[in-house]
Chains A and B, each alone.
Chain A
Amino acid sequence: EVQLVESGGGLVQTGGSLRLSCAASGFTFTNYWMSWVRQAPGKGLEWVANIKQDGSGSYYVDSVKGRFTISRDNAKNSLYLQVNSLRAEDTAVYYCARYQWSVGAFDIWGQGTMVTVSS
């Protein structure tokens, strides 16, 4: 079964840091770009970052550049998001998602992990 399972969310103070993880299974992880997409409470979806198959390139939405870092460990079939200098507006459910270029869409999603930033 193709599956993505996120972990690492929690309650953190403004300015704090967290490392989100996503464990992939059921597909050849090294064949795919991977992404993080977030959703603030009661709001819509926002793409955050994505990373190439071999980790050689990564891209970010402007609002997180310099604060968030996406990475992957292909030996462990895992995706990560290091989130630093957190702000109240970063409060959201963070989804790990597979981006499949052959269909031009996020075709597999995890269940999400909640990050709450509190002052």
Chain B
Amino acid sequence: EIVLTQSPGTLSLSPGERATLSCRASQSVSSSYLAWYQQKPGQAPRLLIYGASSRATGIPDRFSGSGSGTDFTLTISRLEPEDFAVYYCQQYGSSPWEFTFGPGTKVDIK
């Protein structure tokens, strides 16, 4: 079973600042199946990044993803007020069959 660890747990930043979120896997994961989601209070998650680095439809280019193997990063280049939320990474593994989410990183206003 692959465990995803996200750091930091909480990131306190100001609008306009750069946010760097980390997702680390206990074993190597396929970049093709590494995704990032944003969730705001009371809302469903929204897909931001798939395939480790591809933006989903309608996602602004201030969001970018990178990484491979066991280390992945979500970067928000300049935080907008609407970006303060919780971010989850997620992977799919076939052996065993599992879809695993990380515990999340909360980006809040400093």
Give the B-binding residues of A (Cβ under 8 A): 35, 37, 44-47, 50, 59, 61, 95, 99, 103-107, 109-112
Contact = CB atoms under 8 A, between A and B. Distances in A.
A112 B35 contact: no
A104 B103 contact: no
A35 B50 contact: no
7 contacts: A44-B88, A47-B100, A104-B35, A105-B47, A106-B45, A107-B50, A107-B56
Interface residues on B, range: 20 to 34
Contacts of B92: 104
Interface of B: 30, 32-35, 37, 39, 43-47, 50-51, 54, 56, 88, 90, 92, 97-104
A110 B43 CA distance: 9
Contacts of A99: 99
A35 B54 contact: no
A105 B44 contact: no
B101 A45 contact: yes
B44 A111 contact: yes
Nearest to A96: B44
A104 B44 contact: no
A50 B99 contact: yes
Nearest to B32: A104
A95 B44 contact: yes
A109 B35 contact: no
A109 B46 contact: yes
A104 B99 CA distance: 10
Given A45-B101, A47-B99, A103 B45 contact: no
